[in-house]
Amino acid sequence: MAHVLGANQYGKAENRVVRIVRDTPRHEIRDLNVSTSLRGDFEAAHITGDQADVLPTDTQKNTAFAYAKIHGIDSIEDYGLALGRRLLEACPAASSAQVRIEEHAWDRIGDHSFVRRGGAVRTAVVTVGREHTSVLSGIADLVVLNSTDSEFRGFLKDEFTTLPETDDRILATSLVARWRHTLSEGGDGVDWNASHAAALQTLLETFAGTYSRALQETLHAMGGAVLDSQPGIAEIRFSAPNKHHFLVDFSGFDVPGLTNDGEVFIAADRPYGLIEAQVLRDGLPPAPDAWLHLPGFC
């Protein structure tokens, strides 16, 4: 049976890059998880085992560490752009290089002492091609909760529907959000840190200030608010598991006067509803790079 090689890519996953800036007695820390991939004309490596055009994944790893010093890490987007350009330059057979970064935050407790912050992780997916460059900034594991001002009712029902309607519930999610920037000159000159901080603040303020008839409605409001506030963002994508909180039934307890008026809940971790959505700026062309649609990238 005839067959051909389909889409393929290769790289080095999850390089733990920690950069300490020691230029002054007050140190700075950047703690990254960096994955790189190359896509292009690597058919010979797959079909005949010819590695002549393959830049080793070990070289990609070494470049990621070297560029933490050579280029520095002012922002993960800027570092990702520099690393992607270098990998593309070093591998002529590659048509594009992708750098995926997660940044773990540390809080300062002294001039050279830090405590690891839990919770949300800043992310970036940078794709540098011969003709197009794209940057997806984002946030993952952003756990947010509204204790009221959320309802869920009027939904479709059939013979298997047991979920009761409610006009007052907890709305909670562990949000993944990624937003694509419109770029000129490959992203040079963008204040990535300021843009990220502003987008995150907008997401949080909109979540807190939106009366929700469904998580879908809340996500749409959050996405629209980010696009309205930042003209340099073309789209935003959400993946939002609905972290269900169910009211505990006290009716079976033999305790006179014990009621549960929306005060005590059981937090269920699975199964969960998973809501995913994309909010686009009207009139802009779709993303030029299909890598944006790989599983795990929203």
For 69-88, b where at least 16 C-beta lie within 10 A, e where not — what string? eeeebebbbbbbbbbbbbbb
Nearest to 8 by CA among 36, 51, 37, 34: 37
Domain ranges of the chain: 6-131, 139-298
- pLDDT at residue 284, as a whole number: 78
What predicted TM-score, i.e. pTM, was given to this entire model? 0.92
- Active-site residue, 244 included: yes
- Active-site residue, 12 included: yes
CA-to-CA distance for 291 and 293, rounded, in angstroms?
5
Two tokens at 185? 């000159």
- pLDDT at residue 285, as a whole number: 72
Architecture of domain 6-131: Roll (3.10)
pLDDT in tens, 138-158: 999 999 999 999 999 999 999
- pLDDT at residue 204, as a whole number: 98
6-131 and 139-298 have identical folds: yes
Angle, alpha carbons 172-178-144 (nearest 5°) = 15
Residues 6+ apart with CB under 8 A from 256: none
Architecture of domain 139-298: Roll (3.10)
- Write phi, then psi, for 23 (nearest 5 degrees): -65, -25
Q: Mind listing the pLDDT tens digit of every residue in the chain (298 residues)?
A: 799 999 999 999 999 999 999 999 999 999 999 999 999 999 999 999 999 999 999 999 999 999 999 999 999 999 999 999 999 999 999 999 999 999 999 999 999 999 999 999 999 999 999 999 999 999 999 999 999 999 999 999 999 999 999 999 999 999 999 999 998 767 788 999 999 999 999 999 999 999 999 999 999 999 999 999 999 999 999 999 999 999 999 999 999 999 999 999 999 989 999 999 999 998 877 666 555 554 444 4
CA-to-CA distance for 74 and 21, rounded, in angstroms?
11
End-to-end CA distance of the chain: 35
Q: What separation in angstroms does the CA of 158 have from each of 95, 162, 195, 244?
A: 50, 9, 45, 21
Give me the catalytic one of 12, 181, 196, 243: 12
Give me the catalytic one of 3, 27, 57, 210: 57
- pLDDT at residue 291, as a whole number: 56
- pLDDT at residue 238, as a whole number: 96
3-state secondary structure of 219: helix
Helices 192-209 and 76-90 meet at what angle, rounded to 10? Answer: 130
- Active-site residue, 71 included: no
- pLDDT at residue 184, as a whole number: 75
Give me the catalytic one of 3, 36, 244, 259: 244
Tokens 């987007």 correspond to: 77
Tokens 């993303």 correspond to: 287
